[in-house]
Structure 1
């Protein structure tokens, strides 16, 4: 009986160590649902990153999920950025969502396709504090249908 308990303790300890080593160090990793999968120009999800190390380089990713009924092969987005030490800026990005033959390039998760695209590599924030990222759809169609959610992921660059 004692030997069986020791084996279980080892398994529990191993799982605990494994879980601790998989800690996510992202400064921001948040997606915001688009109501009724219908994205209007004035619906601009605002995401806040709390930066505590201005010397650290970061990778910034755009996240997007859409249904198979989305009718375009790409999407244009404006990412508005504001915070300590930077001017309010807006940058336009294109995410390619499908191959020329119509096959979706994102990961299929049931009835959704998920995309994550690197938009900034080795990006440095000029100061510590709260930085706001607002995401605006920048297509000709308003509202834009079949977009489920959008988001930002910011993670430290590790060598």
Structure 2
């Protein structure tokens, strides 16, 4: 009886959860103990099936209110099956000059989403890999809760 109740509860819940068919990936990786080390490079693999469409590629970061800086520098590493890996540095502005956090808050967590590529056309179909490496002076960088990738089909 309990199994049936659980099953039907899950089915009812799934009716209320909406799926965005334009989202190719929306994943986040927790940072252990909220301490992001240089060696911890959250990595995401995504399959691109249409190289003619445009995509928005976004980096997600959540931090606590105790994060000690107004910004965050991240090295973005990208690799495709037929492309060389390339890396570049991205700055995320997390706070205004007066110290007010710029992200959306949920309790003591602040969520930031920044565009990596806007209206981007991938060079080919296949598996692409995105890795994110913190590029601050502190190692470990404290109060980072999780890091993620979202790719939206335009």
- Class of the TM-score when normalised by the shorter of the 2 chains: 0.7 to 0.9
In structure 2, the gaps of 5 or more residues are 1-14
In structure 1, the gaps of 5 or more residues are 1-15
Structure 1 position 33 matched with structure 2 position 30: yes
Q: Out of 108, 126, 131, which is 2:128 matched to?
A: 131
Over alpha carbons, which structure has the higher Rg? 1
Aligned positions, number: 140
> Runs of at least 4 residues of structure 1 off by over 3 A?
none
Q: Distance in 2 between matches of 1:29 and 1:150?
A: 11
Structure 1 position 46 matched with structure 2 position 56: no
Cα offsets for 1:1-22 (capped at 9, x unmatched): xxxxxxxxxxxxxxx7x977x6
2:62 maps to 65
- Secondary structure of the structure 1 residue equivalent to 2:69: coil
1:112 maps to 109
TM value normalised by structure 2? 0.86
- Secondary structure of the structure 2 residue equivalent to 1:81: strand
Structure 1 position 153 matched with structure 2 position 147: no
Q: Is the 8 A contact 1:84 1:126 kept in 2?
A: no
2:8 maps to none
Cα offsets for 1:66-120 (capped at 9, x unmatched): 0000000000001100012221011110000000000001000111000011121
